């Protein structure tokens, strides 16, 4: 345990200094034994027919104790069973709010916590991270039968939603406060942790912009092109515009050649050979300038543009960016085209 603590402390850097009052409980959370879970479940299982079904479920030693517990809970709580069935069904659309069962204050907290974890785990598999995270936040981690799964899926959702500090804290709790963490959870969590250490805090960093684009693409795939997605799109467009202007200024300030490629005074021409399409700005030897208005117009009308105009606009937007970001931006606009032309 000491080696793991040291590794996490080194990876987290100054996180402990940022929260001097944080006290870690070191392996306080542990999955209850199957007999303990079964005894809890039998407290609300009064119907003899349900008890018989539950006994068969508990006898299935090939399944995890958590999965068996959730199935037994579903026998006595039809609303929970319906919510879980919807979350697990790949044909069902992504939910836009938590099911009523998880909002019901009269439901036993132990039951609600474990249904919330099962619900979040199912949504996480469908990349519905917003409601998955909301479900996990509604649960008390000390009450779930699988605390490792709770913190792992919480970290996955926070990482996907670019919530760096909460994700770091969830990973820390998983690695430090939970005993018997599966190796696959440890490995993936440490990879997420190390990746997040490279995340820069600057909003205009291209990696941050790329992550926002990935999130937009995910939301569009889930048919979530509403106000929240539009807000993220606007943020991306504004940040891309700032980046492009910064690149333009840097090149202008450090430019030692004429736009034509010759040295000053060598007679290089800066005259275009053909009129420029005003929609996308120039490409006359220098960096293109695509202001926020034009970027917004492109985003809103990408699906309607002819292929030649798309290609010209894409060259203008990405000409001064590294290949990695060109690919991300191209994929972003391709996704927009699909969403605008169903």
pLDDT at 331: 63
Model confidence pLDDT, tens digit, residues 304-323: 888 888 888 777 766 655 45
CA distance 262 to 268: 6
Task: Give the pLDDT score at 173.
Answer: 92
Q: What is the pTM of this model?
A: 0.61
pLDDT-derived band of residue 18, with 50, 70 and 90 as boundaries? very low
Calpha distance 7→18 (Å, rounded):
18
pLDDT value of position 206: 67
Please return the burial class of 124, using the count of CB atoms within 10 Å of its CB with bins 0-12, 13-18 and 19+. buried
- Looking at per-residue confidence, does 146 or 263 come out higher? 146
The model's confidence at residue 326, banded by pLDDT at 50, 70 and 90, is: low
Q: What is the pLDDT of residue 67?
A: 96
In whole angstroms, give the CA distance from residue 262 to residue 105: 74
Higher-pLDDT residue of 12 and 336 is 336
Looking from the CA of 1 toward its CB, the CA atoms found within 13 Å total 12
Check residue 194 and give its pLDDT. 75
- pLDDT value for 266: 46
- Kindly tell me if the per-residue pLDDT of 83 is higher than 50: yes
């Amino acid at each position: 345990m000491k080696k793991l603590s040291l590794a996490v402390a080194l990876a987290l850097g100054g996180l402990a200094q940022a929260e001097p009052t944080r006290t870690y409980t070191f392996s306080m959370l542990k999955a209850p034994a199957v007999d303990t879970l079964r005894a809890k479940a039998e407290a609300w299982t009064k119907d003899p027919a349900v008890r018989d079904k539950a006994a068969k479920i508990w006898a299935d030693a090939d399944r995890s104790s958590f999965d068996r517990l959730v199935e037994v809970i579903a026998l006595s709580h039809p609303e929970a069973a319906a919510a879980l069935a919807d979350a697990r069904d790949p044909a069902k659309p992504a939910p836009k709010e938590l099911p009523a069962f998880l909002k019901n204050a009269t439901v036993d907290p132990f039951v609600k916590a474990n249904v919330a974890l099962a619900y979040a785990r199912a949504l996480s598999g469908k990349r519905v991270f917003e409601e998955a995270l909301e479900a996990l936040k509604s649960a008390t981690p000390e009450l779930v039968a699988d605390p490792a799964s709770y913190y792992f899926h919480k970290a996955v959702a926070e990482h996907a939603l670019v919530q760096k500090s909460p994700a770091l804290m969830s990973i820390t709790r998983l690695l430090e406060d939970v005993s018997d963490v599966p190796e696959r959870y440890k490995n993936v969590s440490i990879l997420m942790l190390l990746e997040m250490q490279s995340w820069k805090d600057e909003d205009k960093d291209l990696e941050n912009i790329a992550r926002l684009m990935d999130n937009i693409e995910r939301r569009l795939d889930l048919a979530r092109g509403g106000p929240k997605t539009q807000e993220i799109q606007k943020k991306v467009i504004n940040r891309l515009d700032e980046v492009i202007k910064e690149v333009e200024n840097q090149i202008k300030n450090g430019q030692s050649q004429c736009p034509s490629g010759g040295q000053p005074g060598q007679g290089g021409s800066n005259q275009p050979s053909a009129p420029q399409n005003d929609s996308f700005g120039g490409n006359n030897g220098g960096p293109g300038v695509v202001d926020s208005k034009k970027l917004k117009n492109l985003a809103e009308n990408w699906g309607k543009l002819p292929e030649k105009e798309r290609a010209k606009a894409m060259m203008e937007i990405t000409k001064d960016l590294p290949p990695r970001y060109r690919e991300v931006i191209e994929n972003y606009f391709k996704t927009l085209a699909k969403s605008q032309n169903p």
